[in-house]
Structure 1
Amino acid sequence: MRLPVYLYGHPVLRKSCSDIAPDREGLKELIENMYATMYDSEGVGLAGPQIGLAERIVVIDADPVKDSFPECEGRRFTLINPEVEVLDGDTVTRAEGCLSLPGLSENVPRVEHIRLRWVDENFQPHEEEISGFLARIVQHECDHLEGKLYIDHISMIRRQLIKSKLNGILTGRVRCDYPAKYVPRKK
């Protein structure tokens, strides 16, 4: 089932998420729905807060960008309770977009080499060093679990320059091609 993507301004996008327990009810269905939503929205990643859940879960399928970034080929995985450790302090700046910020793209500096620890949908532990664009995708999605958006990594000047676009999302003037939850209007 496709779920609506929560857009910029929703309080859940700014919450620090809680860990998921192995006995979480409906986890398998949630994961299936998250993948369906991500694919329908043409994203390569989706985090719990983006569907209104303040829970530490991320789905990623980076394969669609494999032609430009070979390290992404065949990389489809579910991250539950992920932890990211920076292994290299050097940053690379690349354009990023986000399903919760439709119509926007900004150049964001991020490290290119991380260590990722997580459990999968069967609560089996994993640890892996990840580099390149895949590391960027993981960091972007894991930021959501800490209540951060990619725009938090850009300069104040850039944020001022995109303020009208952000207001467009807040007021519902920006539309997207997938089901979305706009910020409730105050009465």
Structure 2
Amino acid sequence: MSLLPIVTLPDEKTLREVSKPVASIDSHVKKLWDDMLETMYRAPGIGLAAIQVGVPQRLLVIDLAKDGEPKTPLFVANPEITWMSEQQSDYEEGCLSIPEYYEMVTRPAEIRIDYVDRQGEARTMHATGLMATCLQHEIDHLNGILFIDHISRLKRERVVKKFQKAHKLGKL
């Protein structure tokens, strides 16, 4: 496994790209998943979409295990949200592509997704709580949407300008 560079703001061109479906789960996809997982753990984070490492494919990894707990990675290809609850929940979200910035985001409290697992099998998952939030966050990435798109325009513009300025000053 190897670490991959994480794409960060101000590179919105890459982060806004809509990812393409994966045709099959082959050795290249599995290696990318493994590299993404290692990259996510090292960052550290709880989720990572392939577009965040510059690969516009509908792939993501998630692991909600806390420090000291056994790792429980989830490998997801071609996820599609098929149902969302009307009930909403708020979580303070962050993103490896927008480092050290956190904001409260409201999303559906429960979702159901269809996806393909690491063995190439079609699966359905019902998710609640942090897993539902994390899946929505990562699926948004695959659709060219960032979590800052769910906050006020003023806050979003402020954080984008902050990252543009840091990039110009060579701090990113």
- The number of aligned residues is 170
Match of 2:8 in 1: 7
3-state SS in 2 of match to 1:63: coil
Question: Residue type of the partner of 1:111?
Answer: P
Percent identity, aligned pairs only?
Answer: 32
Q: Which has the higher contact order (CA 8 A, sep 6+)?
A: 1
Q: Deviations over 1:87-124 (max 9, x none)?
A: 31222222100000012111111111000110012210
Q: Which amino acid aligns with 2:53?
A: I
- SS at the partner of 1:162? helix
Counterpart Cα distance in 2 of 1:78 and 1:138:
11
Distance 1:171 1:126 in 2: 44
Matching of residue 79 in structure 1 with residue 76 in structure 2: yes
1:1-150 residue pairs with structure 2 within 5 A?
1-10=2-11, 11-22=13-24, 26-64=28-66, 75-150=72-147
Runs of 5+ unmatched residues, structure 2 = none
SS in 2 for 1:114: strand
SS at match of 1:139: helix
Q: State the shift of 1:162 in Å.
A: 3.0
Q: TM-score, normalised by structure 2?
A: 0.88
Contact kept? 1:101, 1:169, Cα under 8 Å? no
Any unmatched runs of 5+ in structure 1?
68-72, 176-187
| Alpha-carbon offset, residue 169 of structure 1 | 4.8
CA change 1:109–1:173 in 2 (3 A) is: farther
Q: Alpha-carbon deviation of 1:63?
A: 1.1
Cα deviations across residues 36-90 of structure 1 (Å, max 9, x unaligned)?
A: 10111111011011000110000010112899xxxxx965210000011343122
In the aligned structure 1, how far is the partner of 2:63 from the partner of 2:168?
31
Residue type of the alignment partner of 2:139: C
Q: Give the alignment's Cα RMSD to 1 decimal.
A: 2.3
For 2:7, the aligned partner's letter is: Y
Q: TM-score, normalised by structure 1?
A: 0.82
Contact 1:16/1:54 (CA < 8 Å) preserved in 2?
A: yes
